[in-house]
Amino acid sequence: MTRITNYIILVLLTLTFTTVKADVNLIEKTLRSQPLTVFDLGLLRLKNDLRQAKNDLVLEVDNKNVSTIYTEALFSRRDDGIQLIVSAPMSTHLNANSYMVDSIKCRKIFEKVKNNLLKGQNESNMIHSKAASYLSEVFTAPTQWNAWRYDKGFTQKLVNFVQLEVTLKPTQSYAVKNKVRPFSCGGSLASDYQQIEITRKFN
């Protein structure tokens, strides 16, 4: 009786191991079969570049702690384009009387992030050419060279396809105490200071 019981247990363990192994193999096979597009690769690069760029913003956040700055790169179906998001916590201003101060702060952060992303591009080029060159590199696979990189019409659309938005977000305690809301500005990576638009103003 004991031998039969042990045999049954052994069979069940074997079946369980086989099932688990099969599941693991299926997961591995499924994941390996999914293609990685240059769109996916570009988003990953943009996410990483934004995380690096926020290190230049230490003087722009009240607590001097860049780890509190939120960054993200994602595709927005609502806007039909890629959104580069930078959200900096604030514990001052953001009220009806601080519009100019907030707009200057927002545009200053925008400029710093943009310049960080575009550093390394040919300094002799105009800002639009630098933005187009950067984004073309971002969306090119290491082993490929895309013909569209020479299509100025396409790269113009690519620059407009990617938008950077900076949000000055009040900390929770400051927002509750002073009844203030976020302040945002945005534009493309080819936008100069005067072209950066206030995209949301809740106050």
Number of C-beta neighbours around residue 111 at 10 A: 15
pTM of the full structure? 0.83
**CA 16 to centroid of chain Cα atoms:** 42
Domain ranges of the chain: 1-34, 38-201
Instruction: Give the pairing type, strands 70-76 and 183-188.
Output: unpaired
pLDDT, one tens digit per residue, over 146-182 is 788 888 999 999 999 999 999 999 999 999 999 999 9
Q: What confidence tier does 10 reach under pLDDT thresholds 50, 70, 90? A: very low
Q: What is the CA radius of gyration of the chain?
A: 25
C-beta contacts of 152-158 below 8 A and 24+ residues apart: 156/128, 156/132, 158/132
Determine the pLDDT at residue 122. 83
Contact (CB, 8 A) for 129 and 158: no
pLDDT, one tens digit per residue, over 90-134 is 999 999 899 999 999 999 999 999 999 999 888 777 999 999 999
Contact (CB, 8 A) for 49 and 117: yes
Determine the pLDDT at residue 146. 77
